Structure 1
Amino acid sequence: HIRSKHFVHVLYDYETSIMWGCRQFFGEPEQYCILGLLPSYLERPNSSLVHMVKHLIDESKHPKSGFFLSNTQQLSEVLNEMESVAQPTLLFGVTFALLDFARDYPMRLSATCVIETGGMKGRGEEMLKPELHAYLKQQFECQHIYSEYGMTELLSQAYSTNDDVLYTPSWMSAFVRDLNDPLDVQHTGKGGIQIADLANLHACSFIATDDLGEVLPNGGFRIHGRIDHTEMRGCSLLSLSF
């Protein structure tokens, strides 16, 4: 398995996009205690997700902000402490780690935004997003589970803040392509998700993802799954025709 790489010419561009995106969806990071539950990702020194969360942790300047690799007991203690003083908190977590944590440490989270970043590859059966969110809401006794959508090839992130619809910052947009005709790209509808990320100043700003989804008239989009196991067609067939 070859990991994706994105050679970032100016790291400041990525960090600026991180900050502006956070401000647009959550406000200033300084108002939060920011926690990262990213096991396996922390073991990758150049992970873009780890860099994003680390930058937000550094900018939050809260003494309890930080990463948690396998010390989930300590994470539960920090969350309970933050909840006891109604400290607004952002908890970023990969899916498999959040599931394990929710199973082992059910608690009431009213001052905490739980943000799942995806990530079940090789860790068990993939759960549908509604099923995942329903379980986490039950275990954490909260009304909403948030989602972050990003990838190595992008310098920006989309977020869902109260349902399964993801929204992009103002310099990023989602489109949809016909699975049988990769040149047929529309602003709304169902198909393969395309992303335009203008923060990619020194790389490709237009990404054809392997995600299946739907783009809505208001610019939001949903992810329904992956194209991985479909028969070769569209872009794959084009690549074989030259």
Structure 2
Amino acid sequence: MINTQDIFSISSEDDFNAMALEIFKFQFETNSVYRSFCDLLYKHPSDIKRIEDIPFLPIQFFKSHQVLSSNDPIEAIFSSSGTTGSITSKHYVTDLNVYKESFRKGFQQFYGNIEDYVILALLPSYLERQGSSLIYMVNDMIQQSKHPESGFYLDNVSELKEQLISLDSQGKKVLLIGVSFALLDLVEQYQFQLNNTIIMETGGMKGRRKELVRAELHAILKQGFGVLHIHSEYGMTELLSQAYSKGHGNFECSNWMRVLTRDPEDALTLQSHEKTGGINVIDLANINSCSFIATQDLGRIALDGSFEIIGRFDSSDIRGCNLMVL
């Protein structure tokens, strides 16, 4: 049995590669959906010598199957947002503690101690539905921050404005995490000049606004909030880990997560760095579902391993929680 603490203590490429290969063997044996997919490709653990050899399960399987590598009782079902009548992805989670460990340690890796921040959340479209993994994460962050001012905002944006200005002027470190359309709504109503606040967008217009290129979105938000950089979070229903961008366009992964790109014309062929292709994610925190996922995002990986999101495959439905569409 794989110890999840070994996943979250990964500190080198060798550690990551060894753990990924071990988890592949485990999920091949225990995940019937993934096993069937690997069998169709004639891929067996004896064929897999490096992470580039591992098959990546198309993310659409989360819409049609229970993708599980565990027989434990299901503790939560996270679901994606979708238009009325559309089929949504469902991520069946048998151990919420693994998710907590992943997002807590991932945040700490990039931003330090959560208790140093007041967490303000502007996520109306997520609050208005059930099963959002983002709401679960941010709610835990609010509790972990231990600041009485931390909390969610829905329609009370004037109160949020007052809180932002007050906290920032007091010199408190603030993290405002919001869905893109709501942050745009806020800066259209109010102008800010913030010196101690991180603005973090989680992507997505949810059909509320015209989609913007991320650079255009960030330019508007930087001016509206009076900040030098806009941070971003990259996550999705089907993952239990996040990548973060601190405002320079590229995302960096937590130590137990990696991104590769595949040829847009040949889904089974991986590409070298700096070429645009389909985003494949290795998320070792997905120990109890599937750690190897081929997403519908298009992106590019830099030589240092960071990545940028370019858009989505045209044929895929637009799910706005994790990117801006060109």
TM-score (norm. length: structure 1) = 0.93
Structure having the higher helix fraction is 2
8 Å CA contact 1:210, 1:228 repeated in 2: no
Letter of the 2:302 counterpart: L
Describe the SS at the equivalent of 1:7: strand
The correspondence for 1:68, drawn from 153, 156, 160, is: 153
Report deviation, 1:102. 1.1
1:185-204 to 2 correspondence within 5 Å?
185-186=270-271, 188=273, 189-204=275-290
Can you list the C-alpha shifts for 1:79-116, whole angstroms capped at 9, x where unaligned? 01111111001111001000000111111111110000
Q: Residue in 2 aligned with 1:184?
A: 269
Cα distance in 2 between the residues matched to 1:158 and 1:102: 25
Is 1:102 equivalent to 2:194 in the alignment?
no
Q: Residue in 1 aligned with 2:206?
A: 121
Counting matched residue pairs gives 230
Is 1:216 equivalent to 2:302 in the alignment?
yes
TM-score (norm. length: structure 2) = 0.69
Can you list the C-alpha shifts for 1:216-242, whole angstroms capped at 9, x where unaligned? 111100001111348xxxxxxxxxxxx
8 Å CA contact 2:233, 2:242 repeated in 1: yes
Q: Residue in 2 aligned with 1:168?
A: 253
1:1-242 to 2 correspondence within 5 Å?
1-186=86-271, 188=273, 189-229=275-315
Describe the SS at the equivalent of 1:147: strand
Describe the SS at the equivalent of 1:196: strand
Report deviation, 1:187. 5.1
Largest Rg, 1 or 2: 2
Describe the SS at the equivalent of 1:194: strand
Q: Residue in 1 aligned with 2:60?
A: none
Report deviation, 1:159. 0.4
Cα distance in 2 between the residues matched to 1:151 and 1:47: 10
Cα distance in 2 between the residues matched to 1:35 and 1:87: 12
Can you list the C-alpha shifts for 1:46-98, whole angstroms capped at 9, x where unaligned? 20010111010010010000000111011111101111111001111001000
User: In terms of mean alpha carbon deviation, does 135-144 or 185-194 score higher?
Assistant: 185-194
Letter of the 2:191 counterpart: P
Can you list the C-alpha shifts for 1:193-227, whole angstroms capped at 9, x where unaligned? 11100000100101111111101111100001111
Counterparts in 2 of 1:187 and 1:49: CA distance versus 1, 3 Å = farther
Cα distance in 2 between the residues matched to 1:176 and 1:2: 26
Letter of the 1:218 counterpart: D
Structure 1 runs of 4+ aligned residues shifted over 3 Å read none
Identity %: 51
Describe the SS at the equivalent of 1:6: strand
Can you list the C-alpha shifts for 1:4-54, whole angstroms capped at 9, x where unaligned? 211111000001101001101111100000011000200123200101110
Cα distance in 2 between the residues matched to 1:60 and 1:19: 11
Cα distance in 2 between the residues matched to 1:220 and 1:38: 26
Report deviation, 1:162. 2.8
Letter of the 1:124 counterpart: R
Describe the SS at the equivalent of 2:241: coil
Letter of the 2:287 counterpart: L
Aligned CA-pair RMSD: 1.1
8 Å CA contact 2:232, 2:247 repeated in 1: no
Q: Residue in 2 aligned with 1:239?
A: none
Describe the SS at the equivalent of 1:125: coil
Cα distance in 1 between the residues matched to 2:133 and 2:272: 28
Cα distance in 1 between the residues matched to 2:314 and 2:127: 26
